Amino acid sequence: MKSDIQATRFTAATSNVIIAPSIRLRGIIVASDGTGAGLVTLKTKASGATGTIMFQADVPSGDVINLNFPEDGILFPQGIYTTTLTKVTAVTLLTDKYSGPGPRAQNSTS
């Protein structure tokens, strides 16, 4: 099945929402900063710090991983949050197209 997707990039952990509406994660690209093995944790919940972990990825030092999820991807029913971003330069989330008001070409949280 073909559908439109959106790419959202962020570069720092935050307790703020990365993508606010309920959304499906279709894929992820994670780049290590080269100083050791990296880790990214994605959660869902209105208060990101205590949210439910929906996905964790390790990335080898100095490497980039690109994962595509089969079928319907991973549903984040209360949006996507991250409070763990260790030894990672950037993360790009590939999600269903955002259908809220106005276009969102990129959401960068630094």
In a domain, 4, yes or no: no
Assess whether pLDDT exceeds 60 at residue 39.
yes
Percent of the chain with pLDDT over 70: 82
In a domain, 31, yes or no: yes
Compute the C-alpha angle 85/36/80, nearest 5°.
Answer: 15
In a domain, 52, yes or no: yes
3-class secondary-structure state, position 31:
strand
Strand partners, 38: 59
Q: Which amino acid is at 58?
A: D
Assign residue 85 the CATH number of its domain: 2.60.40
**pTM for the full predicted model:** 0.81
Per-residue pLDDT of 44-97, as tens digits, reads 985 545 788 999 999 999 999 999 998 889 999 989 998 889 999 999 999 987
Indicate the number of domains in the chain. 1
Dihedral sign computed on CA atoms, order 67, 95, 42, 61 = positive
Q: Specify the range with the lowest mean pLDDT, choosing from 12-21, 33-42, 58-67, 97-106.
A: 97-106
CB-based contact 104:21 (threshold 8 Å): no
Domain range for residue 21?
Answer: 11-95
In a domain, 58, yes or no: yes
Q: What is the mean pLDDT of the chain?
A: 84
